Structure 1
Amino acid sequence: MAFRASVVRLNRAIVYTQNGDPAQVLRALTYKPLPPPAPETVNIKYLLAPINPSDVNVVQGVYPAKPSLTSLVDGQPDVFVGGNEGLAEVTHVGSGVTDLVKGDWVVMTKAQAGTWSSSRNVGVLDVLKLPRVEGLTEVHGATMTVNPPSAYNMLNDYVALEKDEWVVQNGANSAVGQAVIQIAASRGFKTLNLVRKRSDIDELTRKLKDLGATEVLTYDDLNDRNLTQRIVKEWTGGKGIRLGLNCVSGPDTTSMARLLGQDAYLVSYGAMSKQPLALPTGLFIFKNLTSVGFWQSRWYKQKTRSDKENLFKTLATLIGHGKASPEHEIVTIPAEDSDEVAGQKVREIFAKIAEGQYGKKVLLKIAGSE
């Protein structure tokens, strides 16, 4: 009588043991198949996991959020597994798990979950089921937990905007900026979008307007006092802009802040210029400006599981009904590659990212072997 051998699925993760340049310290590590999930846990297979700028900073050791050491291979040192964001599919469900079944899509609610992996075992409270809305793709799901919620919450949490009110933002061509444009347009808000001057500004303007941008200007345009006065008086009907979103800081944000009206909020979520944020005192005294910082990771820590579920239901519906996927490239690390070859491929990806050779978001697909 012939016996059929059981399928053994080896796993792989992109790991590091010390902080540094990702193009130097990252490597691939193959580890044993996952055992059946313990109670209140599930085994998941990662479908796609993006490389975000913050991921690079985490590996470098300069980001506030830190991953935990993980034991993947018996007898070898614990490692840090890269990746904070990603989409996974449930493959096995432990006892006591009632809200998830095999085949469900899930996203991570635990920061620095180690998403640059093929498969992992996770606690049921560390993931949330993603509604399978028509039109929602794997790319949408994999990029769901950082940029779209940042855009949605900044638009929602500070100012109760009414239809046809304006929002001004810099870094408008960033992933968050594009999400702001699309979500704002879906809610009837107008957006003034600021970008740096470049040779292809007309092409970029068309692209952003296709997403739903109302107006696109360069930072240099803000030096034209006649134009800025027109923005305040004509475009907004003299009401001023009540919400500004800043990911750049430096002098360009100082100029942008002058467009804000009475009782406005300036919400900062980045500083791509690597310069401090300087604001005229008069904006605080005479316009009662409120300047705050936003960090999506803090939002997750402060909110209930119900809040997170409602957020993802809202975003899945918005995205599934027309929000375009971010420009992306999927890079597969094949199962047949040795760890040495796979690690070299990953390091080369990060070297190209550092050199600006990728003009789009990179998503990793880490294949396990059977």
Structure 2
Amino acid sequence: MNTLLGTPEPSAVAGNEGVAEVKGDWVIMKHTGQGTWCTHKALDESQLLKIDDKEGLTPLQVGTVSVNPCTAYRMLLDYGKWSFREDEWFIQNGANSGVGRAAIQLGREWGFKSINVIRGREDQTEEEKLKKDLYDLGATHVITEEELLGREIRDKVKEWTRGGREQIKVGLNCVGGKPGTALAKFLSPEASMITYGAMSKKPLELPASLLIFKNINFTGFWVSKWSDKHPDQKKQTVDDVLRLTRSGKFKDIPVQECKWDRDTDLDMLKSAVQGTLGGFRAGKGVFVFGET
């Protein structure tokens, strides 16, 4: 999570004495590695991205916008050869993650249909609730990993895509292993599959046919590296996601907040971090600074 900064007084802005361009505004870091784990910091304003209009936004929305939403935004737009005719698809695993939920909402906004893969739950009521949550966000179809790896899914995908006439142009992979390989097999010729995570901790094995006969492009994406190389595009992406948020077209991801005050017990903070490594979490872990 990027820390929101109360901009320092003009005289405290390093190297720009008298600058008051961003005084009192909300800002996020322009580049990575600038030290987000702090409550106060003096920086040159050239190192910050100002939030031009914070009306209707919460600190949590602004503090998280440059991570998951930007990841989904850039992967979909930068790697898909879209015609925006509302007859094009993307497929993704980890669909209930922060990136997955963002991709569903952005896809709905841009007219993309989606096949969304989640891990099945032992509690069927919980699984159906999760599926409904994703459908409410704009998912076209939601299936489990078991269904993805099953025999019947090929006929279903063929039916959904009108026999392949509607192409699946992008795959978003954060799992790897057999589920990642199965995902790739449904991509149309000349499509792109972008790997941005490896939750299964297993390698992605690619059949040669996907490379030779379908000429699918396999690549990786790391939003931190992208942000450092494209600060202007980062600003545009952040602004667009926040525009959608203000208009009610982009909803917050579920989060588990951990308050971090001066007297917060260290073991509680450690437990909060450790909890992010487990599966089936109720939401993304977020530290919220209080009195420090």
Range class of TM-score, shorter chain: 0.7 to 0.9
**Equivalent residue number for residue 87 of structure 1:** 4
Are 1:130 and 1:316, in contact at CA under 8 Å, matched by a contact in 2? no
Q: 1-side partners of 2:259 and 2:160: how far apart? A: 50
Code of the residue aligned with 1:155 in structure 2: it is L
- Is 1:291 matched with 2:185? no
Partner of 1:334: 261
* Alignment match, 2:286: 363
RMSD over aligned Cα atoms: 2.2
Equivalent AA in structure 2 for residue 138 of structure 1: P
Tell me, in whole angstroms, the C-alpha distance in 2 between the residues paired with 1:269 and 1:100. 36
Q: Which residue identity does 1:238 align to in structure 2?
A: G
TM-score after normalising by structure 2: 0.88
Q: How is 1:159-178 mapped onto 2 (pairs within 5 angstroms)?
A: 159-161=80-82, 162=84, 163-178=86-101
Q: Deviation of residue 233 (structure 1)?
A: 4.4
- Distance in 1 between residues matched to 2:150 and 2:3, nearest whole Å: 43
Which residue in the other structure is 1:243 paired with? 170
Q: TM-score, normalised by structure 1?
A: 0.70
Q: Specify the alignment match of 1:192 in structure 2.
A: 115
Alignment correspondent of 2:72: 151
Q: What amino acid sits opposite 1:359 in the alignment?
A: A
Residues 254/348 of structure 1: CA separation in 2 closer, same or farther (3 Å cut):
closer
Residue identity (%): 35
Offset of residue 313 of structure 1: 1.6
Q: Which residue is 1:349 aligned to?
A: 272
Q: Match of 1:193, SS?
A: strand
Choose from 176, 187, 207 the match for 2:133: 207
Match of 1:213, SS state, is: coil
Q: How far apart, in 2, do the equivalents of 1:293 and 1:355 lie?
A: 24
Aligned-pair distance for 1:258? Answer: 1.1
Superposed CA deviations along residues 263-316 of structure 1, whole A, max 9, x for unmatched, are 11111111100000111111111111111111111211222x432222222121
Query: What SS class does the counterpart of residue 181 from structure 2 fall into?
Result: helix
The alpha-carbon distance between structure 1 residues 129 and 195, as it changes in their structure 2 partners (threshold 3 A), is same
Structure 2 residue 157 is matched with structure 1 residue 231: yes
CA distance in 2, matches of 1:97, 1:188: 47
Tell me, yes or no, if the aligned pair for 2:171 and 2:192 is still in contact at 8 Å.
yes
The one of 133, 142, 155 equivalent to 1:216 is: 142
- Give 1 or 2: higher strand fraction: 1
Structure 1 pair 149–279 and aligned structure 2 pair: CA distance change class (3 A): same
Deviation at 1:318, TM superposition (A): 1.9
Does residue 268 in structure 1 map to residue 191 in structure 2? no
Corresponding residue number in structure 2 for 1:122: 43
Distance 1:293 1:121, change over 3 A: same
2:202 aligned partner, one-letter code: Q
Alignment match of 2:237 (pick from 286, 293, 311): 311
Q: Offset at 1:254? A: 1.0
Moved more, 271-280 or 238-247: 238-247
The structure with the greater share of residues assigned to helix is 2
- Amino acid in the other structure paired with 2:5: A
Q: How many angstroms does 1:113 deviate by?
A: 2.7
1:67 aligned partner: none
Equivalenced residues, count: 281
Question: 1: CA distance between counterparts of 2:87 and 2:120?
Answer: 27
Question: How many Å apart are 1:213 and its aligned residue?
Answer: 0.8
Deviation of the 1:356 alpha carbon: 5.8
Asked whether the equivalents of residues 6 and 26 of structure 2 are also in contact (C-alpha less than 8 Å), the reply is yes
What runs of 5+ residues in structure 2 fail to find an aligned partner? none
Contact 2:3 2:63 in 1 (8 A): yes
Alignment of 1:96-107 (within 5 A): 96=17, 98=19, 100-107=21-28
* Offset of residue 98 of structure 1: 4.8
Higher relative contact order (CA 8 A, sep 6+): 1
Where structure 1 has 5 or more consecutive residues not aligned to the other structure, the ranges are: 1-49, 51-84
What's the secondary structure of 1:90's corresponding residue?
A: coil
Relative distance call for 1:317 and 1:272 in structure 2 (3 A) is same
- Give CA deviations for 1:29-67 in whole Å, capped at 9, x if unaligned: xxxxxxxxxxxxxxxxxxxxx3xxxxxxxxxxxxxxxxx
The answer (yes or no) to whether the contact 2:108–2:139 under 8 Å persists in 1 is yes
Equivalent position SS for 2:9 = strand
Letter in 1 for 2:185: R
Is 1:141–2:62 an aligned residue pair?
yes
- State the 1:108 CA deviation: 1.1
CA distance in 2 between partners of 1:88 and 1:236 (Å): 50
Shift of 1:110: 2.4
